[in-house]
Amino acid sequence: MIHAGVDVKRIGIVGGTGYTGVELLRMLAQHPEADVVCLTSRSEDGSAVKELYPWLDHYSSLAFEAPNLERLAACDLVLYATPNKIAMTEAGDLLAADTKVIDLAADFRFKDQALWEQTYGGPHAAPHLLAEAVYGLPEVHRAAISQARLVGNPGCYPTASTLAVLPLVEAGALDLNTLILDGKSGASGAGRSARTDLIVAEASDNFHAYAANGHRHGPEIAHQLTQISGASATVTFVPHLLPMIRGIEITAYASTSLSLAEARSLYEARFADEPLVSVIPAGAHPETRWVRASNRCMIGLYQQRPGQLIISSVIDNLVKGAAGQAIQNMNLMLGLPEMMGIPAHPVSP
């Protein structure tokens, strides 16, 4: 799309057919200073966006094309909405061409190469870029993101989890060895590929834990909390599949000496200037529908006994947990207003 009289940034998207890619297209269609000029998909090469996704007919002339590094290198910034282990093979070439990169997968979320290889199965194809890459959680790394060439967009569960305990970690008021995170996600968090356990007859009217013996987002959360605190952190993280399409809720059980009133004051002060994170009124419980299709995180605080705080954190896994946060990072990296083009308000019902 053309924006007259504006110095529009040229954006590329690698992998535009998954749920995250479609969300990127939806949000960038209304971004006043960014145009998607290159959209890749091997499976849909030559297909027009408006034919594959009629509700995105704003893109009247944009079509999917086969991946081409020369075309991508002509962009100001490229977003990788691809599986793990794709961006790390191409990011170096794009950076050399002065094109900035955001990876929405896990290739650049870890500073520790050995930990990444243990979590995702090595070897890492671009270990020399891990030190440069910035973890794309603006509420923690805003200044670094604004100067970054390469950003690893956080996972959806880690986003909700890190924000849930961030004030406690920064204040040194959390026992980093006893944190328990109980996560619940809608089915879109597993992606768009066909899977038996995600068809309607299997997922509807059903609820279960998965990867209880260890999920890849557990090490990511622990690594990020270690980076923030400067002390080694371990977490017990168990995800669950909810019979709904989108949304994540994290219930965190945190050991702390703070009273509920002290914790509330700490959280309200920490997030007072964060436009996308809200601490809800005392006694209320955040619901996933409160953040649906928005880039918001909403947090509730509770206490049943001294020494432990219960925190509930909700986000939309496809927006703040993926595409919306990526655009937030894109704005920072390109010197645009951080909130530009970002859906800050949910849809209801």
Residue from 58, 55, 50, 15 nearest 34 by CA: 58
Is the model more confident about 195 or about 272?
272
Sheet containing 9-14, strands listed edge to edge, beginning at the edge strand earlier in sequence: 34-40, 9-14, 77-80, 100-103, 150-152, 134-135
Chain Cα centroid distance, residue 12: 18
Q: Is the pLDDT of residue 297 over 90?
A: yes
Q: Which of 38, 75, 156, 297 is catalytic?
A: 156
- Summarize pLDDT for 203-225 with one digit per residue, the tens: 788 889 999 999 999 999 999 99
DSSP letters spanning 155-195: PHHHHHHHHHHHHHHHTT-S-TTSEEEEEEE-GGGG-SS--
Instruction: Note the CATH architecture for domain 157-318.
Output: 2-Layer Sandwich (3.30)
Residue % of the chain over a pLDDT of 70: 96
Residue 150, SS3 per DSSP: strand
Tell me if residue 38 is catalytic. Answer: no
Segment 95-122 shows an average pLDDT of: 97
Q: Which residues pair with 278 in a beta bridge?
A: 298
Where do the structural domains in the chain lie, given as residue ranges?
9-154+320-333, 157-318
Cut 0.75: pTM above it: yes
Q: Is the pLDDT of residue 193 over 90?
A: no
pLDDT value at residue 202: 79
Parallel/antiparallel/unpaired status of strands 77-80 and 308-315: unpaired
pLDDT value at residue 253: 98
Q: Is the pLDDT of residue 339 over 60?
A: yes
Positions of E strands within 41-118: 77-80, 100-103
Residue from 299, 296, 298, 297 nearest 343 by CA: 296
**Whether 296 contacts 289, CB under 8 Å:** no
Q: Determine the topology of domain 9-154+320-333 in CATH.
A: Rossmann fold (3.40.50)
H runs (alpha helix) in the chain: 19-28, 49-52, 69-73, 91-96, 113-120, 138-146, 156-170, 200-203, 217-229, 260-270, 324-333
- Summarize pLDDT for 269-287 with one digit per residue, the tens: 999 999 999 999 999 999 9
Residue % of the chain over a pLDDT of 90: 89
Segment 173-201 shows an average pLDDT of: 84
Residue owning tokens 């004030």:
167
**Whether 16 contacts 39, CB under 8 Å:** yes
pLDDT value at residue 330: 98
Segment 254-259 shows an average pLDDT of: 98
Residue 206, SS3 per DSSP: coil
- Summarize pLDDT for 46-94 with one digit per residue, the tens: 999 999 999 999 898 999 999 999 999 999 999 999 999 999 999 999 9
Could you report how far apart the first and last alpha carbons of the chain are, in Å?
30
Segment 137-154 shows an average pLDDT of: 98
